[in-house]
Amino acid sequence: MLPKILVVDDTNANLVAMRRLLARSGAAIFEATSGNEALALCLDHQFALILLDVNMPDMDGFEVAALLSETEQLHETPIIFVTAAYADDMSRLKGYRSGAVDYVAKPINDVILQSKVRIFLELYAARTELEQAMTSLSERNQQLTVEIAERKKVEALVRHQASHDALTGLPNRMLFHDRLNVAINHAQRHHGRFSLACIDIDGFKNVNDEHGHPAGDALLQEISKRLLEELRRNDTVARIGGDEFALILEEIDDPKLALQLGQSLCKALAEPYTLTVGESTIDVRVGASIGVAQYLESDRQDADEQLIRSADRAMYEAKHAGKNCCVLADISTAAT
């Protein structure tokens, strides 16, 4: 698209002369015979340059330039005053204050006018190219911002999938071991205590055998919800495989409190479940055998495995005791 030049002069002969001089400028020439007409054209077009006659009736060139300089989208448009009063320093100063960037004296010197016009058209082309480059860069930056955000979402999703059980959304065995080691390190630094519970669902195989694996999956999801509802936000509920769950119970100093919590969980998990499988609903009941072991300060490298063995042993004691109950690990045998 050709750059545009606006010539403003109330004398037709001057307009014709300007048209002739600018014929080979490489710009589209627009003409206005008054200040009001010039302002109207400026609102509809973006001009690379305005050649503005100073002496016009109604609204002179100074007034037109001042109005243009006060308009947000027009104030950067360069204006060259065309005037016979070039030698008048006060007029020149007034013009510069009004927004003029240069003067051309009448009678017009063809070479000087064409040279000035060429310079301003080159500046306009350079500015346009820069604006386009900046726009392109801004668009690319926005695109990169979106791409980075999307990549972070995908990476977060991949990390979540790698550390969480796909069926229940709970932490998986890997994340459980990470959090257990964090809890042990924290307890060692602050001489604190916490408890670990291992849970095995009693009667889960019967549900799978009688109603199918979709029912078993739905049951595991409901069990996960109940465990989350019963525990605090800072506790960890993990599915470590099949129908086995593990709990990290933070900041429980009294083993009796851990036992009471385990007994409460047994009661909650033994409540009936209504499962939705396809278009059918199924009512089932299961129980839970829970073993609880309290972390005792230890310098052993395998403190985490030691604690898991203690809770696991207590869980099997719960099964042998008739199931659907909670057993607290014997401290005297916890280190064996």
Which residues are annotated as catalytic?
Answer: 243
To the nearest 10 degrees (0 to 180), the angle between helices 12-21 and 110-163 is 70
Q: Is 312 within 8 Å of 334 (Cβ atoms)? A: no
Pair of tokens at residue 36: 């009001």
To the nearest 10 degrees (0 to 180), the angle between helices 89-98 and 61-69 is 30
The dihedrals phi and psi of 83, each to the nearest 5 degrees, come to -155, 155
Pair of tokens at residue 98: 């009004």
DSSP track, 51-94: EEES--SSS-HHHHHHHHHTSTTTTTS-EEEEES-TT-HHHHHH
In the chain, the DSSP E strands lie at 4-8, 28-32, 49-53, 79-83, 102-105, 195-202, 236-241, 244-249, 273-277, 280-284, 287-294, 326-328
Q: Is 327 within 8 Å of 317 (Cβ atoms)? A: yes
Three-state DSSP at 272 gives coil
DSSP structural state of residue 171? B
What whole-number distance in Å separates Cα of residue 6 and Cα of residue 29? 6
CA-CA-CA-CA dihedral for 183, 186, 191, 194, to nearest 10: -20
Of 204, 202, 182, whose CA–CA distance to 194 is shortest? 182
CA-CA-CA-CA dihedral for 114, 120, 121, 127, to nearest 10: 170
